[in-house]
Amino acid sequence: MSTLNKQIRLAARPVGLPKDSDWEFVTEDAPQIGDGEVLVQVHYASLDPAMRGWMNDGKSYIAPVGIGEVMRAGTVGEVVASNNPAFAAGDFVSGMLGIQQYGVSNGKDLVKVDPNLAPLESYLGGLGMPGLTAYFGLLDVGAVKEGDTVLVSGAAGAVGSLVGQIAKIKGARAVGIAGGADKCAYVVNELGFDACVDYKSEGFLNDLKEPLKTGVDVYFDNVGGEILDIALARLNRHARVAICGAISQYNNTTPVRGPQNYMNLLVQHARMEGFVVFDYLKQYGEGMKQLATWHSEGKLKFKEHVEEGIENFPATLLKLFSGENFGKLVLKIKED
Amino acid sequence: MSTLNKQIRLAARPVGLPKDSDWEFVTEDAPQIGDGEVLVQVHYASLDPAMRGWMNDGKSYIAPVGIGEVMRAGTVGEVVASNNPAFAAGDFVSGMLGIQQYGVSNGKDLVKVDPNLAPLESYLGGLGMPGLTAYFGLLDVGAVKEGDTVLVSGAAGAVGSLVGQIAKIKGARAVGIAGGADKCAYVVNELGFDACVDYKSEGFLNDLKEPLKTGVDVYFDNVGGEILDIALARLNRHARVAICGAISQYNNTTPVRGPQNYMNLLVQHARMEGFVVFDYLKQYGEGMKQLATWHSEGKLKFKEHVEEGIENFPATLLKLFSGENFGKLVLKIKED
């Protein structure tokens, strides 16, 4: 009896929010591996805002997912067969194996992870791409230094929650923006931010005044839109804006809202710089080691929001855009 | 008989383009000087896009001109009386003396200039603020290096014309954007840019293709609006966007158009940084010396567009926004 491999493939390029009809559910035999290849059973897949961009046609930092291709995703799983001397059955690995139960890799994009050091799903969160995104974005692009005020949107999210904690480790003040009182309470009470302001609250602009009374030295932007403009208006001299994402704009069917307050960059001699974590590929090792050390010292907390079942992928992905997830959104794909 | 001093004062804060009623013409006795002060007869005043911003209320990099105050302007003139040991009658100086025939200074903001080295009006152009703006903006903010493609808007203007020439001196390719075939011909044939594209031409977007086929490494923006978006879409990896101005937006009565393509900063790991020349006050000496050297070596050409008569200030200022000026716009204030 052969092993079956359930997959989610991209069926159509979404207009606005992805619909059920943009996906195709496929079940086929699990793949065979050739020379040098590794077969991985996927345990967890990472669901990220960036996925929305990968579904669009057009030039970007990475090729779009082709129509009919398995949806690209970061994953962690277990090696179940290997023709590659670097990996053996029973190894746990992370890699871009996509939304499917079994994936094949030549091993080049696989990184071994240790499930005894941290739960497997952490390697999709604080010890994975989101952690590295926060690490390099805040330290390199944001150039944070002691005494800075760091403002971060999506503060309860996979990346934002790490940004504020790393800011604190570096001796900066951390101010978060998140959606809802529960998330804000978590950001301050559990993660140790100095303040967190609820953008869904009517008093939002007023609530920002006190925590930002000394202005913003680093703004780490995950959301774009109106909140980016609000941050630009509060920049201090020589401030840095790290553009990590713009989740408020990803499902737009109208043109993207450009930041109207960008001329404040001139007034404050400030800079706005974009990045993606892949830019730091050669420094992943250094970053992962530092994140794991801080985590083991109790200085970095992670929270994963785990949903189950590959068939729930389309609905679960939408939680990112409605803000329903609380913590790094991962989908458990391995069936018990 | 006392000497009279004609002045232009700000009468009202303009909405959109400044109107005649936003100005007040005043004639009063020329001022007396106190201890340590210098009386300067203004020969030429500099007319600059930044003036439009100074007329608005609100926080910026410099305080707004108050209602009833003499309009702020960079000027060059001759010292006619001095109680300051650093200056003597007959010295030529540049300083912010405003749109008036006679101005008083404590000497701190005055810089001596030599009318034998270059025409007096050059110290408002290539050897003045516009030259320094181009110099520091391209070298520090733009971080231009050999082999880069530098794109500059307002390429026939006071700052843009210098940006392209300095780019060439540094071994980069210079591509200009200007309004009209005459300006473009001047930019290429007289100033030595590699190409210049006419934004008023129907074929504008198509005409940009060939000169930008290797993309943009540095975009020096004087205009904002749609042209900023066009440049953002063509950025190369690690490109730098120097935000010097946004003349297309200064007279808006609707909200500023934010750059919709700012997410290309993320895709290309590029940065956008604003500046004003005052940020480089401590390095003015170095910059002026280098500009004068290049000028004397024939490597930098300047062009001034001189209009005459303080009473023509309101109409002359509008030429900046219609693009009617061809070269650095200066107003001759001294009556022959």
pLDDT of residue B96: 95
pLDDT, tens digit, for every residue of A227-249? 999 999 999 999 999 999 988 88
CA distance A106 to chain B (A): 27
Please answer yes or no on whether A265 and B244 come within 8 Å at the CB atom. no
- A59 pLDDT exceeds 90? no
DSSP assignment of A226-264, as one string? Answer: HHHHHHHTTEEEEEEEEE---GGGTT-SSPP---GGGGH
pLDDT of residue A334: 97
Give the span between the Cα atoms of B291 and B277, in whole angstroms: 15
Phi and psi dihedrals of B143, rounded to 5? 45, 50
- With contact defined as beta carbons under 8 Å apart, do A103 and A42 qualify? yes
pLDDT, tens digit, for every residue of A310-330? 999 999 999 999 988 888 999
User: How does the average pLDDT of chain A come out, rounded?
Assistant: 95
pLDDT of residue B1: 54
Please answer yes or no on whether B271 and A274 come within 8 Å at the CB atom. yes
pLDDT class for A186, splitting at 50, 70, 90? Answer: very high
Comparing C-alpha atoms, which of A207, A275, A214, A210 is closest to residue A239? A214
Residues of A at the B interface, defined by Cβ within 8 angstroms: 59-61, 224, 229, 243-246, 249, 255-276, 279
Give the span between the Cα atoms of B325 and B125, in whole angstroms: 13
CB nearest to A269's CB, from B245, B261, B275: B275
Give the span between the Cα atoms of A125 and B22, in whole angstroms: 58
CA distance B93 to chain A (A): 27
> Of the ranges A162-166, A174-178, A253-257, which one carries the lowest mean pLDDT score?
A253-257
CA distance A79 to chain B (A): 33
pLDDT of residue A1: 55
Domain ranges (residues) in chain B: 4-125+302-332, 129-278
pLDDT, tens digit, for every residue of A102-148? 999 999 989 999 998 889 999 999 999 999 999 999 999 999 999 99
Give the max Cα distance, chain A. 69
Comparing C-alpha atoms, which of A121, A227, A129 is closest to residue A176? A227
The low-confidence residues of chain B, meaning pLDDT below 70, are 1
pLDDT, tens digit, for every residue of A68-115? 999 999 999 999 999 999 999 999 999 999 999 999 999 998 999 999
CB pairs A-B closer than 8 Å: 107
Give the span between the Cα atoms of B42 and B36, in whole angstroms: 19
Please give the CATH topology (third level) of the domain spanning B129-278: Rossmann fold (3.40.50)
Chain A contact probe: residue of B262, B265, B275, B277 with most A CBs at under 10 A: B262
pLDDT of residue A323: 86
Question: What does the pLDDT average to over A205-214?
Answer: 97
- Which residues from A are below 8 Å from B266, CB to CB? 61, 243-245, 274-276
pLDDT of residue B256: 87
Name residue A82's beta-bridge partners: A38
Local structure of A134: helix, strand or coil: helix
CB proximity list for A53: less than 8 A, separation 6 or greater:
A60, A250
- A254 pLDDT exceeds 90? no
The ipTM assigned to this model is 0.89
Give the max Cα distance, chain B. 69
Chain B contact probe: residue of A229, A254, A269, A279 with most B CBs at under 10 A: A269
Give the span between the Cα atoms of A12 and B322, in whole angstroms: 47
Residue B115 CB neighbour total at 10 angstroms: 14
- With contact defined as beta carbons under 8 Å apart, do B69 and B24 qualify? no
Name residue B220's beta-bridge partners: B152, B242
Please answer yes or no on whether A271 and B274 come within 8 Å at the CB atom. yes
Please give the CATH topology (third level) of the domain spanning A4-125+302-332: Quinone Oxidoreductase; Chain A, domain 1 (3.90.180)
Give the span between the Cα atoms of B157 and B183, in whole angstroms: 9
CA distance A59 to chain B (A): 9
CB nearest to A259's CB, from B246, B258, B279: B258
pLDDT of residue A251: 83
CB proximity list for A95: less than 8 A, separation 6 or greater:
A40, A74, A75, A103, A105, A109, A110, A111
CB nearest to B267's CB, from A61, A260, A266: A61
pLDDT of residue A164: 98
Please answer yes or no on whether A244 and B266 come within 8 Å at the CB atom. yes
